[in-house]
Structure formats: C-alpha cells, structure tokens
Amino acid sequence: MWTVGVVSNPLIHPRGRRTLPDVAADLRAGRRARRNCAALWLLVTWTARAAAQATLELEVEADEVRVREPFLVNVRVNNFESCDAPDFPLLENASVRAQSGGVDSSQMLSVNGRMTVSRSRTYVFEVTPLAAGELAIPPAQVRVDGRMLQTKPARVVVRPSDAELLFWVEITCDRKRIYVGQRVRLTLTIWVKPVKMQEQLVPPDEMMGFLRVINFGPFSPREVRTDVRRRSSAGGGTETYYAYETHADYVPDRPGQLKLDDVEVAIQYPTRLSRDIFGTWQVRAARNLRARAQVESVEIVPLPTQGRPPHFTGAVGTYGITVSAEPTIVRVGDPIRLTIEIRGDGPIESVPPPDLAGDPRLTQSFRVPREELAGEVSGSRKRFTQIIRAERPDVTEIPALEYPYFDPDREMYVVALSAPIRLTVTPAAALDTSSLVDTSSPAANQNAAAPAPLDGLRGNKTQETELLAVGAPVRLDRLALVLFVPPAVYGLLWGYGAYVQNCTPAQRRRRSALRTARRRIDQARALPPRDCGAEIAAALNGYLADRLDEPAARFVGNAATAFLDDRRVPAPLCARWVRLLGRCEQASFGGMTDGDTAALADEARECLRALERERL
C-alpha cells in the first residue's frame, strides 16, 4: 500500500513598497524566516532519521474481552529492510493462533520535492482467553535488520463469558437407542438470543445472516427452518430465542455413543447496530462467538447375533423384495435376466444385494455368477440385475428369493420372500447344420447322425465364391478420389469448351466491340466538330458490326434501328440510338461547339453502356 503527501514551502511571501519601517520589518521578517527555516530543516531531518530507523509496535483490538471470545493482536514492524516472523509469547489461560504471515504496506512522503519512502509489515494473531481475570501479554520479540527488537507489554481485562446465554447449538435424535446400520433422523437446532436495537428485535432472517457455518457435519445449511420460541432463562423467567432448525438422515456405522461434537457454528453477535440508507441493519460492533454442538445422549448398539439368518447381508430397516425374470421360456444355458427390486425405509443407497450365489435353492438349478452386483437407486427402491442360466431342462421355476434383514422396531431378524416365477426350460436347440453339410463329403453322414450341440448358433457358410472374396477396404483417399475426380473432369471439359469458343475470330471481335467503340469515341473528341460527329456515328455502327460479326456498312442509317427492333432491344433505347445518330448527322453537316462535342461523346458512351447490358 502506498501513500503520497506533498508539503508546500511557507517561506515565500509578496514584496510591497519599501519604506524605513518596511525595511525594519523586513529585517525582523528575515530573522523569523531564518528561524522557521532552521526549525523546518530540523523537523525534516528528524522525520527522515525517524523514518530510517526500524520500530516495532503491538496493538490490541480491545482492552476488555470475555472468556472464549477471540480478539486480534497486531505486531507491526516499521521502516525495515529485513525482518523475521515474530515469536509471539506463550500466554497463560489463553490460546494464540497466527492469522496471517505478514501483510506489507508502504508509504511515500514528498516534502518540497524530497521523497521519503517507508514500509511496514503487520502480523496478526488471534488470541482466545480461556479464563476470567487479567490477561498479560508479554513483549513479543522480532529480529529486524539484524537487531532483536521487542514490543511493549500489554494487559487485557477478561470478564466471565455470557455466550452460553446468547448462542448455543444442540443435536437431538428421535430415538434414545439405535442399531448400527439403522437410519435415524437427527435435528440440529441453533439457538440465538435476538438483539434488541431501538426498542425492537432484529428480525430472525437478519440474525441468521450473522451466523457462519464452521462444520455442519451431515446437516445441510440450505434447508434451515426458522422459528421464534420462548425458553426459561437463568433468572427464572422466560426469554425469546430464535431457533434455526435443520434435519439430516444418519446411519451409524459403529456401536457406542452418538458423537457429532465436531459440528461447529460461529456468529458475529452484534453489540451495536445501525441502519443504512436502505433500512438494513449494519454491524458497528460485534462479539465473535463460537459454539460446538451439544449432542443428546443416544446409544448405538450392535446387531444381535442370536437368530441371525445365514444369508443376512447387513440390511437394517424394513424391506420387501420383488423379482422378475425375462425371458421365462428358455433353452438350457440361455441367459435369464433376473431383476431384483428391494424397497424399504432403511438406508436404500447402501442396502446390499441379496446373496444369490449363496442360495442353494437357486444354485442347484441355475448357474449364478459370483460377482457383486451394483444396484440402481430410484426413490425408496434399489434395483439389481443378474444373469442366471438354467442348467437342466427339468427346471420349472425360479424359486422364491430370500432377503433377510434386521427390523430395529421389532428388534428381530425378518426374511422377506419374493414370489416364485414359473419357467419353461427346453433342451438346447440343435445346430442348423444344413447350410454347412457337404453331401459329397464323407463327413456329411457323420453330421447327420451327430447329436445336437448345446447352443443356438446358425451354421457356417460354405459357398467358395462367397468365402474367397477379396473386398478392397474403403479408405478416405479412395472416397476423395470418387467424389472429386468427376467434378474435376467436368471443370476441365467446361474450361476447355469455353477456351475453344473464345478462340474464334468472331468471338474475339465480339469481345473487343465495346473497347474499340470507346476508343474511337475518345479519339473523336480531338477531331474538329464537323468530323467528330461522323466519327462517333461510325464508332456506334462499328460497335454493332463487331458484336454481331457483320460488315460495318450493314448498319448505316435506319438498318441499325430495324436490326435493334429485331433483337428485342427496348423501344426507349432504340429511340435513344436514333436520336444520337441524328445528332451526329446534324453535327457533321451543321457543325457544333466544343461543349456540344463533349456532350455528344458522353451520350454515345452512355448509349453503348446501355446497349452492352442488352447482350446482343
């Protein structure tokens, strides 16, 4: 951080008319000025020397604090070149935590053009007093520019805490005794005594804005319900409190007492508030309070071993099982997709699959993979899918599947059963060997008598021409060849045709018609007016002759007009052509001025441009 300051010179003053008293006054003023100058020089020199010397300061945020309410202590090093981190002294009945590793700031001071730069570094410590009384902070030592400096000692008065009356956190459970794996509902309540400002309570929503979650454990800070309740106070009466409640489902994984004391909430509890221009409360002074959750005593007990079913997989709650199979008409060895749906009020996300591979009633008739199944959760249901295969054709049903679970309400093991599923299993199909039997070979008779293989494959292909085909693989370069060569050939042909067409003398003459006519018109401008008109008329007729590859004499006079009519040139353009030729004739016989010559040439050029657009 940089700060810049400028001090102006006070010794400059205007001079007036010079009389004797003025001279005396000047002498006095000169002496005063010299004295002032000397004082200022001393001040600047002292400031510069002071600025150049390193100093160490200790600042305490408050003179009076409460037990377990942290306050800040700053250790500031000024005007240093190098410094180590301070060794903050150990305090009795207080804990200290360094908050920052040193924040640097710089200050630049300019006095009459002389620049002085000073820098400082601040280390911040959070001190939390643990007992009431007087807290003495001994000098802190810091090595600065190779010298060991120390701060002055400080004292802080610590008063007993009343935070328990202002703010606390509770966790309650709807049961006093729960089982490992049982899903229970926990309630977290944050109690806050509302702040009264200007004879009115700060509303609950605004008080909630001062709360800060340190650790919410299994609870969600987004689903907090606000309530206003009255509770008995230490003085015997009742007081109003704001209760902020949220819930969470919890599944204990080990026996013992319910422990959630790492849930911690903080509040910046305001002691002085004011309203800003928008009418909302702004904290002017506050106390930093923290509270760990007080957990209600809840005993977590292990599942009983007595009466535990052999295929129990750890499900706790109340469950039901539904099984479906597809297809139900199969051959031996065909896969049967078994869909097992478990539904219940327990922790459905972590509910284990049934032990199919360990169920002898299933495995004696079906081949069951041993892989652990991954389920798919949908609401309060979890679906598992497994492929099983009938091993014999005499299997008639998929037996009822068992799903043992522990019911914590009845405190006993229960086995849920699915309904058995009727199944039709036929022997495995014979291989369709008709397509592969070569009747001319001796193996054909053996195949005909061979027992059917146990799968449903169709037979081999035997056509030699089909089997010994050589297909070229399709590649990108071949595709490009196929798609781009024909248009390239087309382009070549089109270009060649265009070239051939433009190569005849008639085409060359046609292409240069306009250029030739314009050149002749431009040359006509330099001729005498009498010759100019004749030359422009000749240029116009020459244009028509070139365009149509005809002799120029053919378009003299009205012949050109008739020809333009035949070519469906618009009537106004024909009339313009006639008028233009008339003016040329008039000029060649009657003469005209230089201005008229230029206008006639321009008109001829315009007329040619219009005629060019008609593409004769």
Partner 1 sequence: MRRPLVLVFLFCVSPANRLRESQAADTAFMTPDRQREVLRQALSAFDDAVACAQHDPAGAQELYRRAAGSFESLVTSGMHSAALEYNLGNTYFRLGMPGHAILHYRRAERLAPGDEVLRANLAYARRQAEPHFPARGQERLWQRLLFWHYGSSLAQRFRTAAVLSGLGWMLLMIRLRWRTPMVLAAGAFAIVLALACGGSVLAQLSDERARPPAVVVEGGYLLRLGRGEGYDPALRQSLGAGVEVRILQQRGDWVEVRLPNDLTGWLPAAAIERL
Query: Which residues sit at the interface with partner 1, rule CB under 8 A?
Result: 334-335, 337, 369, 371-374, 387, 431, 433, 435-438, 441, 443-444, 446-447, 449-451, 453, 455-464, 466-476, 478-479, 481-483, 485-487, 489-490, 492-494, 496-497, 500
The helix/strand/coil state of 31 is helix
Q: What is the DSSP string of 91-138?
A: -TTEEEEE--S-EEEEEEEEETTEEEEEEEEEEEEEEEE-SSEEEEEP
478: enclosing H helix or E strand? helix 476-501
For partner 1, which is the closer residue by CB, 146 or 471?
Answer: 471
The answer to whether 323 and 418 have CB atoms below 8 angstroms apart is yes
Beta carbon of residue 478, minimum distance to partner 1 (angstroms, whole number):
7
Beta carbon of residue 105, minimum distance to partner 1 (angstroms, whole number):
47
CA nearest neighbour of 541 among 609, 608, 613, 610: 608
Measured between alpha carbons, how far is 356 from 178 in angstroms, rounded to an integer? 29
Residue type, position 243, single letter: A
For partner 1, which is the closer residue by CB, 240 or 462?
Answer: 462
For partner 1, which is the closer residue by CB, 444 or 599?
Answer: 444
For partner 1, which is the closer residue by CB, 86 or 375?
Answer: 375
For partner 1, which is the closer residue by CB, 152 or 461?
Answer: 461
3-state secondary structure 152-198: CCEEEEEECCCHHHHEEEEEEECCCEEECCCCEEEEEEEEECCCEEC
Beta carbon of residue 166, minimum distance to partner 1 (angstroms, whole number):
47
235: enclosing H helix or E strand? none
State the DSSP code for 432: B
**Tokens at residue 312, please?**
């129990």
Q: CA-CA distances (angstroms) from residue 2 to 108, 152, 460?
A: 6, 27, 88
3-state secondary structure 516-581: HHHHHHHHHCCCCHHHHHHHHHHHHHHHHHHHHCCCHHHHCCHHHHHHHHHCCCCHHHHHHHHHHH
Beta carbon of residue 410, minimum distance to partner 1 (angstroms, whole number):
32
Beta carbon of residue 182, minimum distance to partner 1 (angstroms, whole number):
25
For partner 1, which is the closer residue by CB, 307 or 459?
Answer: 459
Vertex 472: Cα angle to 467 and 478 (nearest 5): 160
For the stretch 486-494, contacts whose Cβ atoms lie closer than 8 Å and that sit 24 or more positions apart, written own/partner, are none
**Tokens at residue 383, please?**
């679906």
Beta carbon of residue 491, minimum distance to partner 1 (angstroms, whole number):
10
Q: What are phi and psi of 42, to 5 degrees?
A: -65, -45
Exposure of 51 by Cβ count < 10 A (0-12 exposed, 13-18 middle, 19+ buried)? middle
Beta carbon of residue 363, minimum distance to partner 1 (angstroms, whole number):
17
Q: Is 411 left (phi over 0), alpha (psi -120 to 50) or beta?
A: left
Sign of the CA dihedral with 170 first, then 176, 182, and 185 last: negative
Beta carbon of residue 339, minimum distance to partner 1 (angstroms, whole number):
12
The answer to whether 439 and 445 have CB atoms below 8 angstroms apart is no
Angle between helices 594-613 and 571-590 (to 10 degrees): 150
Beta carbon of residue 615, minimum distance to partner 1 (angstroms, whole number):
17
For partner 1, which is the closer residue by CB, 52 or 482?
Answer: 482
State the DSSP code for 251: -
Q: How many Cβ atoms from other residues are within 10 Å of residue 487's Cβ? A: 9
Beta carbon of residue 335, minimum distance to partner 1 (angstroms, whole number):
5
Measured between alpha carbons, how far is 522 from 525 in angstroms, rounded to an integer? 5
For partner 1, which is the closer residue by CB, 6 or 470?
Answer: 470
For partner 1, which is the closer residue by CB, 6 or 476?
Answer: 476
For partner 1, which is the closer residue by CB, 446 or 512?
Answer: 446
Beta carbon of residue 334, minimum distance to partner 1 (angstroms, whole number):
7
For partner 1, which is the closer residue by CB, 93 or 385?
Answer: 385
Beta carbon of residue 408, minimum distance to partner 1 (angstroms, whole number):
28
For partner 1, which is the closer residue by CB, 90 or 483?
Answer: 483
Cα first-last separation, the chain:
83
Rounded to the nearest 10°, the torsion over CA 606, 609, 610, 615 is 160
For partner 1, which is the closer residue by CB, 6 or 474?
Answer: 474
Beta carbon of residue 453, minimum distance to partner 1 (angstroms, whole number):
5
State the DSSP code for 552: G
State the DSSP code for 63: S
Beta carbon of residue 357, minimum distance to partner 1 (angstroms, whole number):
13
For partner 1, which is the closer residue by CB, 1 or 483?
Answer: 483
